[in-house]
Amino acid sequence: MIISLSEWFHTPPGSYARTWEQERLAELTADIFGYNAVQLGMPEMDTLAANRMPNRWLTDSVISSGTENNSQSQDDEARRQVVLLHDYAELPFASQSLDLVVLPHVLEFAAEPHHVLREVERVLIPEGQVIICGFNPVSLWGARQIFGRVTGAHFLPVHGEFISVPRLKDWLKLLNMEINRGHFGCYAPPCDTSKWLQRFGFLEKAGNRWWPYLGALYMVQAIKRVQGMRLVGPAWQKQGARVRSVVPATNHMNNKQTDE
């Protein structure tokens, strides 16, 4: 029985899902600019590999042993700064200090996912972005997981509480986060072997065209909006004209006293 997300990503369907997520994340993060980016959890995958920000952190609850990593993973860890973290609802970053936060399957395994999202909103700068990866409960994989809870033959990680996209949209809306992009993927049936997953590879294009909301995985990108804030260009000439047209209150009082 698979009991953790880390173990599941080493299975054939886990490898299939990780490949799709890595490709989509590379597309999304490559065009996001700034100074500070953070990946929460899931050290098995470098979600910021294609991003070009100077400061990139990986937060995790443990430090991987050097004997268990190959040379490539050691290079990745050297490039990423690792921050030990006990609770994702208490991030060790200042308010409005991060340009990008990536949550690969964090909300599904958090005790209080809305508290994690609220903390992410706190540390993001205005117009900062968050990318959320999750399992879609409205899919063939989700249906098999529900059936597995009855039979005991789980297909996905046991302790995950999978969140639907409409529910996630409601949470983001309450935090003034506007969804910018969304992707669904992994339309192959819930097969246990790489051979059968590859045979159903043709369903990726068909699924994106005919039933896009039934992919086993989703990825949501949202932007933090701040009410009353608007980015404008230089307008010092207009401001100067407005200042000249305003009569100071002191001059007005002096003129009134002179008339008396």
Output phi, psi for 220, to 5 deg: -120, 130
The owner of tokens 């597309």 is 27
Q: Are 119 and 91 in contact (CB under 8 A)?
A: yes
pLDDT at 43: 87
What is the 3-state secondary structure of the chain?
CCCCHHHHCCCHHHHHHHHHHHHHHHHHHCCCCCCEEEEECCCCCCCCCCCCCCEEEEEECCCCCHHHCCHHHHHHHHHCEEEECCCCCCCCCCCCCEEEEEEECCHHHCCCHHHHHHHHHHHEEEEEEEEEEEECCCCHHHHHHHHHHHHCCCCCCCCCCCCCHHHHHHHHHHCCEEEEEEEEECCCCCCCCHHHHHHCCCHHHHHHHHCHHHCCEEEEEEEECCCCCCCCCCCHHHHHHHHHCCCCHHHHHHHHHHHC
pLDDT at 80: 65
pLDDT at 186: 94
Has residue 255 been placed in a domain? no
Has residue 250 been placed in a domain? no
Has residue 165 been placed in a domain? yes
pLDDT at 210: 85
Has residue 24 been placed in a domain? yes
pLDDT at 67: 36
Residue from 58, 60, 31, 64 nearest 46 by CA: 58
- Which value, in Å, is the radius of gyration of the alpha carbons in the chain? 24
CA distance 140 to 164: 14
CA distance 129 to 32: 8
CATH for 218:
3.40.50.150
Has residue 193 been placed in a domain? yes
Q: Are 69 and 83 in contact (CB under 8 A)?
A: no
| Total residue length of the chain | 260
Has residue 258 been placed in a domain? no
CA distance 238 to 242: 6
Into how many domains does the chain fold?
A: 1
Identify the sign of the CA torsion 163, 43, 76, 14. Answer: negative
pLDDT at 238: 47
Residue from 41, 47, 58 nearest 25 by CA: 47
Has residue 241 been placed in a domain? no
Per-residue pLDDT 10s for the chain (260 aa) are 456 888 899 999 999 999 999 999 999 999 999 999 999 988 889 999 999 999 999 988 765 544 344 444 445 554 567 877 778 888 989 999 999 999 999 999 998 999 999 999 999 999 999 999 999 999 999 999 888 777 777 888 888 889 999 999 999 999 999 999 899 999 999 998 999 998 888 888 887 888 889 999 999 999 999 876 555 555 444 444 444 444 444 444 455 454 55
Burial class (CB in 10 A: 0-12, 13-18, 19+), 171: middle
Give the domain extent around 62.
5-234
Euclidean distance between the first and the last CA atom of the chain, given in angstroms as a whole number: 94
Has residue 89 been placed in a domain? yes
